Structure 1
Amino acid sequence: MKTILITGASSGIGAATARHFQAKGWNVVATMRNPASGSNFTNLENVHLARLDVTDAGSIATAVEGGIERFGRIDALLNNAGYGAYGALEAFTTERIRRQFDTNVIGLMEVTKAVLPHFRQNGSGTVINISSIGGQITFPLGSLYHGTKFAVEGLSEALHYELEPLGIRMRIVQPGMIQTNFGGSSFEFAMDENLPDYAPMAEAMGRLFGKLAANPSAPETVAEVIWDAANDTSDRLRYRAGPDAEALLDARKQQDDAAFIGDIKEKMAP
């Protein structure tokens, strides 16, 4: 039986993926900041719950070691933990800026570093990083979030070169709008009443997100794509998840900057 370690498995894409892989016969190391929130997994066979905060190096090491001790090996890593910070750059403190990058980028890299020695020893393994359509296109007031997801795309593509000769596969999954708690606990919006100049842009962003999120895909859709990515033996790097991801990413490739940004602006209009 193969084993996958998943970060951010308490809800949304992480939880759906944990259930999907478990149902397919894999062992699952389901990690989250608070394992008590993973009560839905307690009655499932071959699921190991573990505390892992991607900003806490000690918890990363303990979770990885615990997963290997429980199941003997780890075959795939899903870096799913993260959140979206939106708002005017001026409205974010340096602490909040660092928190966004520490979670979405540095934390992802630290978890990957913790698993790579095990993969190298085995001569195999798959690292799957959850990016976003927001890793190749941008929306207004998303300088922090898109900055992190563009970084995930870049670091993942670079890792593809260095890990492939070692028998380790690198995968990037790009979800579109998904029915998750991205608008809840996984979403942070900064708006400073002392910066009224940005208020019209915030209203426009609300209109844009409303239109884009009209028909979101279920998290199970992403879980199925992750399953394909984990089991694909080709050298494919990127996997899209959701029809809107297909449409928007195709449009970005086919249009120049002015045309694509112009389309986004049109969607922002009242």
Structure 2
Amino acid sequence: MSTRIALVTGASSGIGEATARALAAAGVVVYGAARRLDRLEALASAGIRPLVMDVTDDDSMRAGVARIIDEAGRLDVLVNNAGYGSYGAIEDVPLEEARRQFDVNVFGAMRLTQLVLPHLRAQGSGTIVNITSMGGRIHTPLGGWYHATKYALEALSDCLRIEVAPFGIDVLVIEPGGIQTEWGAIAAGNLEGTSGTGAYADQAVAVASSLRSEAHGTRNSPPSVIADAVATAVTARRPRTRYAVGFGAKPLIAAKTVLPDRTYDTLISRAVGLPTGRPRTAG
């Protein structure tokens, strides 16, 4: 892998940072991208090339890809990791925020993919890794807009895999479960700000408490688990199309697959501390 070139987005912390380090340790030349250069200083000291990039800014993405091709002459691996979770009742979340979440989690990843594909096709090889979530296969209360972005990224990955296979390009999906990052605490704060008052306040309190508990819990897997999965996937002769890794990912995806919808709804509601059952109607 000593001559391979990789671009990892959202590389300033958490899964992105761990992935950039894991690929660099495997001998890959890694460009670690994030919006703020100062948050990439630790990566630069580890030999990873810092790259300022905002996945909602087309000029920024064009300039980043051009720099990589200019300096390295090629690009072999794209890891679409940049994203965030914005929780809140579907009724409460302003459409502006819903669109922003799609812009970052879906359109940003796919626009960057559009920009790198001509280079991958020209060289007849490449691997695109989309970091989705077990949230792209399951659903949880008050996470509708977030889950929608991850479901969309899963579907796009499947279609893209078929489209680019004739050009020697592979498309892989990594579905993290519970990971020890700042994600849960940030999502909890967003949730309280969006649905902490009003009709969904009781649900918001319960789900925010669950998110914070997961964020600070010891059961969650370290980001290195995801980074190792990415490194394994991009170096495998015949990689799997999906890797569900991290705390809870495989059992929860399996439960969603085999259980009736209402049974799963009850299971996941109890898991986050919500009351279960349907209210009785008057009369």
Give the match for residue 142 of structure 1: 143
Query: Where does the alignment leave 5 or more consecutive residues of structure 1 unmatched?
Result: none
* Distance change >3 Å, CA 165–CA 202, structure 1 → 2: same
Query: Where does the alignment leave 5 or more consecutive residues of structure 2 unmatched?
Result: 275-283
- Which residue identity lines up with residue 244 of structure 1 in the other structure? G
Give the match for residue 109 of structure 1: 110
Choose 254-263 or 168-177, whichever is displaced more: 254-263
Give the match for residue 281 of structure 2: none
Q: Deviations over 1:8-67 (max 9, x none)?
A: 10000000011111111110011110122101022233x221111000001101111111
- Superposed CA RMSD in Å reads 1.9
Task: Report if the CA contact (8 A) 1:48-1:67 is conserved.
Answer: no
Task: Report if the CA contact (8 A) 1:88-1:141 is conserved.
Answer: yes
Q: What TM-score comes out, normalization by structure 2 length?
A: 0.89
* Count, aligned residues: 269
Choose 186-195 or 28-37, whichever is displaced more: 186-195
Task: Report if the CA contact (8 A) 2:88-2:195 is conserved.
Answer: no
Q: 1:11 and 1:254 mapped to 2: Cα distance? A: 35
Give the match for residue 256 of structure 1: 260
Q: CA deviation at 1:120?
A: 0.2
Task: Report if the CA contact (8 A) 1:68-1:74 is conserved.
Answer: yes
Q: What TM-score comes out, normalization by structure 1 length?
A: 0.93
Q: Which has the larger radius of gyration?
A: 2
- Please state if 1:242 is matched with 2:243: no
Give the match for residue 50 of structure 1: 51
Q: Deviations over 1:143-182 (max 9, x none)?
A: 1100100000111011111011111000000000111120
Q: Deviations over 1:174-209 (max 9, x none)?
A: 000111120355773364579521011112313543
- Which residue identity lines up with residue 227 of structure 2 in the other structure? A
SS in structure 1 opposite 2:91? helix
- Please state if 1:84 is matched with 2:85: yes
SS in structure 1 opposite 2:238? coil
* Distance change >3 Å, CA 105–CA 112, structure 1 → 2: same
Give the match for residue 7 of structure 1: 9
Structure 1's consecutive aligned runs of 4 or more residues displaced over 6 angstroms after TM superposition are none
Task: Report if the CA contact (8 A) 1:175-1:242 is conserved.
Answer: yes
Task: Report if the CA contact (8 A) 2:4-2:76 is conserved.
Answer: yes
- Which residue identity lines up with residue 262 of structure 1 in the other structure? T
* Distance change >3 Å, CA 192–CA 235, structure 1 → 2: closer
Q: 2:196 and 2:15 mapped to 1: Cα distance? A: 36
Q: 1:238 and 1:11 mapped to 2: Cα distance? A: 23
Q: 2:178 and 2:26 mapped to 1: Cα distance? A: 25
Give the match for residue 97 of structure 1: 98
Choose 211-220 or 244-253, whichever is displaced more: 211-220
